[in-house]
């Protein structure tokens, strides 16, 4: 049935879901031990992470080989597109929760707590707020420095990735590879600059609600940039190996969708976290 282009594709039995479950179980056990200051937490986390990496290489490698062998039909392509769409939607809801927390803290919670002068006489209603038990003397992150440069970097990376996609559609392999290479370098530059920003921040995750929301939002976005860059590196390696055709390249499109989503989230972060 897998060779029938009109039939419903049924994959062969695979061990990778079980291996992935074992990796997640090991990570959960390791995190539990570590959070409770028990022995074996870090080794268990390391084992879980190693199993997870092994699973990712094995499972994705299987999918890539099946795709390049021509076994996938139009029904599989449609399933992949719906799956990636729902995955990105779940990411939208994930960041919406954090933006909602930022809005609640900034617009509702901080002004309300500032009225409780008997409980917190030193609390200041202005944003950023470091909390009722700390002073508001710390310097918040400025928008027109590294964040503005990172905004330019991500916007440029979106353009170079689109340019690479145009090259793939036109079967221009040089344009495809060059565009992907430049996009990967821009992604790595973004992560490097954000790490520099974190190292020189005048506050931390524990600096009241401002520090908490800032590092949660920008930190999770940074992790997504790292994941997106990893996806693009895989696309670049596959392109160098001659994978993808103008008619058959959804893996590239999926990575591009994810990268453009990361771009949009950063624009919202720049406006609501850094600028306003």
* pLDDT per residue as tens digits for the range 142-194: 778 888 999 999 999 999 999 999 999 998 999 999 999 999 999 999 999 99
Q: What domains lie within the chain, and their CATH numbers?
A: 1-72 (1.10.287.70), 74-275 (1.20.120.80)
DSSP designation for 39: T
CA 102 – CA 108 distance, rounded (Å): 10
User: Average pLDDT for residues 31-42, to the nearest whole number?
Assistant: 86
The mean of the pLDDT values for the chain is: 84
Least confident of 19-33, 177-191, 213-227: 213-227
CB-count burial class (<10 Å; 0-12, 13-18, 19+) for 15: exposed
Q: Model confidence at 1, in pLDDT bands (50, 70, 90)? A: very low
CA distance 198 to 79: 39
* Of residues 141, 125, 142, 123, the one with CA closest to residue 133: 123
| pLDDT range class, residue 26, cuts 50, 70, 90 | very high
């Amino acid at each position: 049935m897998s060779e029938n282009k009109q039939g419903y594709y049924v994959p062969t039995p695979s061990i990778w879901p079980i291996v992935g479950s074992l990796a997640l179980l090991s990570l959960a056990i390791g995190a539990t031990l570590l959070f409770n200051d028990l022995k074996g937490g870090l080794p268990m986390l390391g084992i879980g992470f190693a199993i997870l990496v092994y699973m990712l290489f094995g499972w994705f490698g299987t999918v890539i080989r099946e795709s390049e062998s021509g076994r996938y039909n139009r029904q599989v392509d449609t399933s992949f597109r719906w799956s990636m769409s729902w995955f990105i939607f779940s990411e939208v809801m994930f960041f919406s929760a954090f933006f909602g927390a930022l809005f609640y803290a900034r617009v509702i919670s901080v002004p309300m707590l500032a009225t409780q002068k008997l409980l917190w006489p030193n609390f200041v209603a202005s944003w950023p707020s470091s909390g009722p038990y700390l002073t508001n003397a710390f310097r918040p992150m400025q928008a027109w420095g590294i964040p503005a440069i990172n905004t330019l970097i991500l916007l440029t990376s979106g353009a170079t990735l689109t340019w690479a996609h145009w090259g793939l559609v036109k079967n221009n392999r040089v344009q495809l590879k060059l565009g992907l290479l430049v996009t990967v370098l821009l992604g790595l530059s973004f992560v490097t600059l954000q790490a520099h920003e974190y190292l020189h921040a005048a506050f931390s995750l524990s600096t009241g609600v401002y520090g908490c929301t800032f590092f949660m939002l920008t930190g999770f976005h940074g992790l997504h940039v790292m994941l997106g860059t990893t996806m693009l590196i895989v696309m670049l390696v596959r392109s160098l190996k001659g994978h993808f055709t103008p008619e058959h390249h959804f893996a590239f499109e999926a990575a591009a969708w994810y990268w453009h989503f990361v771009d949009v989230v950063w624009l919202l972060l720049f406006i609501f976290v850094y600028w306003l």
